[in-house]
Every structure is written in C-alpha cells, then in structure tokens.
Amino acid sequence: MANKIKVDLGLDSYKISMIDSFVSSILHVASSTKSQCMLISQDNIYKLYKEKFDQLSKLSNISIHLIDDGEQAKSFETITQITNKMASEHFDRSSIVLAVGGGVVGDIAGFAASVYMRGIDYVQYPTTLLAMVDSSIGGKTGINLKSGKNLVGRIYQPKAVEIDINFLLTLPDRQINAALAEAIKYGFIYDRELFDFIASSIDNIIENKSIKILEKIIIQCCEIKSDVVSEDVNENELRMILNFGHTVGHAIEGYFDYRTLLHGEAIFYGMKCALYLSNKYGNLSNNEYNKSLYLLSKFDLPSVSIEDYDKFMTYIKSDKKIRASNVKFILLDEIGKSQINDNISFEQIIESLKVL
C-alpha cells in the first residue's frame, strides 16, 4: 500500500499522505509562503501537544486560533471570529489555513478558508480516526443551523491531507470505537474485502487498538473515498452512497442536541436502521443482514430512545438528500454493493427506529 494517495480532481487534485510528524509538515508548509498562516485547533488538542504547538507558535507567520469543542463550535459566530482575526492580522490570498483536529476543526477551517477573500489554501491534519478515514477527505466544509447539521457550507478541496497516525496514541478508546463506524461503512457500501478484514480483526482492534491494523484500515478507506470523490466531486449521484447510515444518524445527533452521542456512535445506529430497511424493503438477504448486525453488535453504544417522532422527523426532513419531499436513502443490495433508493417513506424510517 502506498503512503501517498492522489485525489484526482484535475486542477483541484491533491494528495493524502501518511507522515511521521505533523510539526515537520507544518513547518514546511508555513515556510512555503511569506504570508500569515493560521493554525486552527481546539484546547484539548493544544494541551496534549503543548510543546509541539509552542514550537510552531515561534514562527513569525503562524498564529494559533483555538475553537470550542463539539458541534456547537460549527456556527456563523465561529466563522466571524476567525475571519475577523484574519483581516486584523492582514491575511492575504497567499495565506494558508492549517486544520489540526477532528471533523469539527476540519469543517470550520475549510469553510473559513473557502470564504475569506473568496478562497485561500488550507491543509488538513486530522487528529482523530474518524477524520483520518472520512471527514478530512473530499472537501466538504460547513456549519450547523438549529434545524440541522451542515446545512450551510461548501465543497472546497484542501491542498493536502497529512495524516500523522501518532495522534491515535492519545485518542480515547471511545473515539476510536466510534470512528470505526465510518470504516465499516466503506465496507458496507463499496468494498466487501474491507468489511471482511474488519470483521476478522474486530476483537483485536477493540481490545488492543493495533496501530498496524488501524493504519491498514485508514489507507484502504482513503483509497475508497478518493475513488468515489474523484468520480463525483459534487455529490450528484455516486458520492451519495457515502451517506449510508447518515440520514438517520444525523437526525439522532440533532434529536439529542449533539450531546449524547459521538458522531460515529450515531452513525452506528443509523446503519442499523439502514440495514433493517435494506433487508425488509430492499434486496439485502437475511444472511447478509445477520452478518452485518453481528459485526455492529461488537460495539458498546450509549442507549438511546426516540420518543418524540415529530421532533425526530424535523431533522429527517431537513436532510440535504431530500428531493421534492422524497428521501434519497442509501440501501445495501449486499455487503459491498449499495444503491440510492427514493422509495423509502417517512413512515418506514420511523418503523426502522425499533432496532435502536
């Protein structure tokens, strides 16, 4: 497996690289411009890597900006703070934004970079397994509204994604377990071999958090997402399959005000609902359905209960995949093969919640 993967988007192409040191990479990127650079991160990451951040802050053209933790940080207020700071520090079109964090940091940093002076460069340094396998790749940026997640944003590609797997050494077990939802998703929708590899390794992954195994999974996921994004950059059709489990998953996150569950945990539940619908109203066989549920059963998840269906459905109905009041729902025909289905009703989605 190569340690560099190309996301082939013509003039917007970039590489995903496995690196040994995010500090060395940032020093190299910052030295490539005489303009100001902003490193965007969060306080918990700063505290874990204070010595490394202090080393970077000594560079005359790097300023560090820390945003709040959690989905609440993905707001217009945060974007305003960042862009005002850029303006006051005389950022220009040769400035670079450095996103050191998980999905929230990547979404905020990418969106800020996309709108400041109509677009400046940014580089992703994902610090979580979830960001390494999914959110740092593909250029999706955005912020949340009260009525739903990521309803304001742009597809704006980074100049590079630099993955320092050493970040995983300080990542809590719960974060790693939750992130495996996105990795399993790739197996479900696109790659039976990846599903089988994760299934055969799952006890070792959960109990030992083998970096070697996780690195293999990361590279395979990056290759899959690169293939999908390269074919459908604007999510017109094929890229929608990456949302398997996300229609219900995002609604569950919103229902609990983004506080009860980690994103990956919500996606686990969303995939359970999607598997149920794939089996009952689609082509997924009982054998494949049971095999899928067995793998998901390996993960301990916080218990949830949806009691207010009207509230829950407000999040479903604000989903970005709604077209003319119909949901474009991702179903499995079999493990490794997915389809976009527009015949799943709101009533059937509510019915699927009984598997939670």
Task: Spell out the domains of the chain, with CATH numbers in brackets.
Answer: 4-170 (3.40.50.1970), 173-355 (1.20.1090.10)
Q: For the chain, what is the largest distance between any 2 Cα atoms, rounded to a whole number of angstroms?
A: 61
Residue 321: Cβ within 10 Å count: 18
Residue ranges in the chain assigned as alpha helix (H): 22-30, 43-48, 50-57, 76-88, 103-115, 129-130, 173-189, 192-208, 211-231, 246-255, 263-281, 286-296, 309-317, 346-352
Mention every residue, 6+ apart, whose C-beta is less than 8 A from residue 63: 36, 37, 38, 39, 57, 85, 89
Contact 245, 271 (CB under 8 A): yes
Residue partners of 34: CB distance under 8 A and separation at least 6: 61, 94
Measured CA to CA, the distance from residue 140 to residue 246 in angstroms comes to: 15
**Distance between CA 103 and CA 60 in Å, rounded?**
27
pTM value is: 0.90
Six token digits for residue 220: 């395979």
> For 185-230, how does the pLDDT look when each residue is reduced to its tens digit (9 = 90+)?
999 999 999 999 999 999 999 999 899 999 999 999 999 999 999 9
pLDDT at 318: 83
Q: Cα(103)–Cα(128) distance, rounded to whole angstroms? A: 8
Task: List active site positions.
Answer: 118, 140, 182, 225, 235, 239, 243, 246, 250, 263
Q: pLDDT tens, 220-275? A: 999 999 999 998 887 777 888 999 999 999 999 999 988 899 999 999 999 999 99
* pLDDT of 322: 67
Candidates 351, 185, 188, 191; CA nearest to 273 is: 351
Query: Quick one: what percent of the chain has pLDDT higher than 70?
Result: 98
Burial of 93 (0-12, 13-18, 19+ CB in 10 A): exposed
List pLDDT tens digits, range 155-177.
999 999 999 999 999 999 999 99
Q: Cα–Cα distance between 41 and 68 in angstroms, integer? A: 9
